[in-house]
A and B are shown apart, each in its own frame.
Chain A
Amino acid sequence: MASQLTFTGFAWKNLWRRRLRTLLTLCGISMAIGAYVALVGFSESFEDSWMRLYTSSGTDIAVVEKNFLNTSVNQSLTGKLRAVPVVEQAAPMIFNLMDLTPEVNAIVFGWLDDTYEFNSLTFDSGGKFHNDKPEVILGNLLAKNLNKKVGDTLDMQGSTYTVVGIYHGGTALEAGAVIMPLDQMQILTSTQGKISGFHVRLRPAPAGESADHYLKRAQAQIEAALPGLNAQLASDRASNNQFVDLAHAVAWGTSAIALAMGILGIANTMAMSVFERTREIGILRAIGWKSGRVMLLIEAEAAVLGFAGGVLGIGVGWGSLHLLSLMPKTNAFVSTSLSPTHLLQSMVIAVLSGLVAGAYPAWRGSHLSPVEALRHD
């Protein structure tokens, strides 16, 4: 059967003639897409982990000051909050980020031993701690990293705590955390009487009132009862806290730089390719190819580079996340799960990067004078 030449086949053959250059360009764009996949994937899964932290415990509203990391809310407001009619449970809490060992970081939570948030934890061994006692419970991932089991002790900033339980975390964030009595955490961080905020579970919405309306009403009631504090929906808190904002900013910033470099790599390859094929472009124009078709051919080549770079980049990104998830310093914050939406976004960005990178070389190639192009050496 006679060999059929297709437009995309022609584009691919043009790329494949300079295999080394094409492969090196692919490496560049795949590293850029890999960085995007890994970093943005990480920041999105980080946000998702925060969300699950709230939803798994049944928290509807977080009551905090504006600064997420401050531990400056008076614990004495607990009674006032619990007296708000819509509030079913109000749990004062502290959280902080600590270096447990030079290699292991963890989020440390301070809870009361009767908080409703224990209901969502499943213990692999042991059980919950008791107020006023130097006890901690560890997420299973952290316990594994630290090689701790129930009955062992854990040193944190000069104080020693007994591990009384190992719980199963639904997310890397939960599984990599330490939870300890609120009073012990206040002593440890010299914040007696102060908390980071309250986690609130609301009473069921009255019949006939929509969930949205009820949540807004509850926010208003809580803020009226506790002037100066913000009652934020758990979903807003998960996506708008400073940890997540920082993760998003770093991810997008670094990815943007990597993508810019990848785009420059493709642009350089395409510009060189167009220059080298000046005479061929002249031939195509001479045999009737319109300038738009020449432009389309060069853009198709750039898009193929982008697409292939995207496929490879997803592999690179997933591999990077997998490596990070194996490292004790980072595994508490990293998930290897990548959403289909994120993968689709990555492919769209990869192909768009190719198209942007190919735009100028394509324009230049398509505007060559056929006669001048044919004379080109």
Chain B
Amino acid sequence: MTDNQAAPQLEVRGLRKTYDDGRIEALRGVDLAIEAGEYIAISGASGSGKSTLLHLLGGLDVPTSGQVLFNGKPLDHIGLDEYRARQLGFIFQAFHLIPTLKAIENVQVPMLATGVDASTRAKRAETLLVEMGLEHRLNQYPNELSAGERQRVAIARALANNPSVLLADEPTGNLDSVNSAHMLVLLTGIQKARGMTLIIVTHENDIANAAPRHIRIRDGRIES
């Protein structure tokens, strides 16, 4: 067994992130290990550093000090773009769909980055949208979809390159309670069916407490 096989899928060591020339400390030395296939909720008050942690885990930002490792390798050795394109799926609170593209086209956008051929892109996007129950909404533009439908398109987009980790930043923040509940069922179903790692950042205790592992962040440090 090699070191990499023994390593957690995601690991952060002594992670610090400061802003404004060090005057603002968003993360103050975070250590965390996440195994493949885990479902984790990260919660905390606004400004606690939970989104910063998610951004660093997702390779969207670089730490001031400390390391993020994927399968034992530092992210900067893997290449952040390659890591985000092939290993991660992002789901955002505000959906962040591209307004000029139809639902099925939005799902194809990540695949433009990974060299998937055009017909495979279209077929895979259709399959994912059907899986999300949106077979009748393939050719609708985001402004023609409900909030719940938009979030399902965003999930399909996050799954487009078959990632091993799904990162969701307040995925239910723009949804009503019924849609929120459906969304959680959908996400956990996907996580189980695909054996993916699911990391949800949320400020809602109900959602956080439903996760098998719940990490609380306060003032840039892991509380529990």
Contact = CB atoms under 8 A, between A and B. Distances in A.
Given A2-B138, A371-B61, A293 B113 contact: yes
A3 B101 CA distance: 10
A1 B110 CA distance: 20
A326 interface: no
A289 B115 CA distance: 11
B55 A371 contact: yes
A288 B98 contact: no
B157 A287 contact: yes
Size range of the interface on A? 20 to 34
A100 to B, nearest CB: 59
Given A288-B81, A371-B60, A283 B96 contact: yes
A280 B125 CA distance: 20
Contacts of A3: 102, 104-105, 122, 138-139
Interface in B60-101: 60-61, 81-82, 84-86, 88, 90, 92, 96, 98-101
Given A2-B126, A5-B122, A287-B85, A280 B110 contact: no
Interface in A285-314: 285-291, 293
A369 B114 CA distance: 21
A283 B121 CA distance: 19
A68 interface: no
Contacts of B101: 5, 10, 13
A16 interface: yes
Nearest to A372: B61
A272 B82 CA distance: 29
Contact of A287 (B84, B102, B138): B84
A16 B157 contact: no
Given A2-B126, A17-B100, A285-B84, 6 more contacts: A3-B102, A3-B105, A3-B138, A5-B108, A16-B100, A288-B82
B62 to A, nearest CB: 9
B112 A10 contact: yes
Contact of B110 (A14, A288, A374): A288
A14 B100 CA distance: 7
Which one of B92, B98, B158 has the highest number of Cβ atoms from chain A below 10 Å of its Cβ?
A: B98
**Main DSSP-derived SS at the A contact region:** helix
A5 B58 contact: no
B100 A13 contact: yes
A5 B105 contact: yes
B213 interface: no
B121 A5 contact: yes
Task: Tell me the interface secondary structure of chain B in the complex.
Answer: helix
Interface in A1-43: 1-7, 10, 13-14, 16-17
B90 A286 contact: yes
Contacts of B109: 5, 10, 284, 287
A6 to B, nearest CB: 6
A229 B138 CA distance: 80
B102 A289 contact: no
A117 B98 CA distance: 70
B119 interface: yes
A288 B113 CA distance: 6
Contact of B60 (A17, A279, A280, A370): A370
Interface string B144-183: 0000000000000110010000000000000000000000
Interface string A251-291: 00000000000000000000000000001100111111111
B119 A279 contact: no
A371 B84 CA distance: 13
A372 to B, nearest CB: 9
13 contacts: A2-B125, A4-B119, A4-B121, A5-B101, A5-B118, A5-B121, A7-B112, A10-B105, A10-B112, A283-B98, A290-B81, A293-B113, A374-B96
Nearest to B169: A374
Contacts of B13: none
Interface in B112-139: 112-114, 118-119, 121-123, 125-126, 138-139
Contact of A374 (B60, B99, B108, B122): B60
A284 B58 CA distance: 14
B86 A288 contact: yes
Contact of B90 (A287, A291, A293): A287
B113 A6 contact: no
A6 B81 contact: no
B58 A286 contact: yes
Nearest to A279: B96
Interface string A45-76: 00000000000000000000000000000000
Contacts of B98: 280, 283
A286 B84 contact: yes
Most chain B beta carbons < 10 A, residue from A1, A7, A289, A291:
A289
Contacts of B161: 288
A4 B139 CA distance: 11
Contacts of A17: 99-100
Contacts of B138: 2-3
Nearest to B104: A3
Interface in A337-377: 369-371, 374
B115 to A, nearest CB: 11
A220 B24 CA distance: 84
Contact of A2 (B55, B60, B61, B123): B123
A283 B112 CA distance: 13
B126 to A, nearest CB: 4
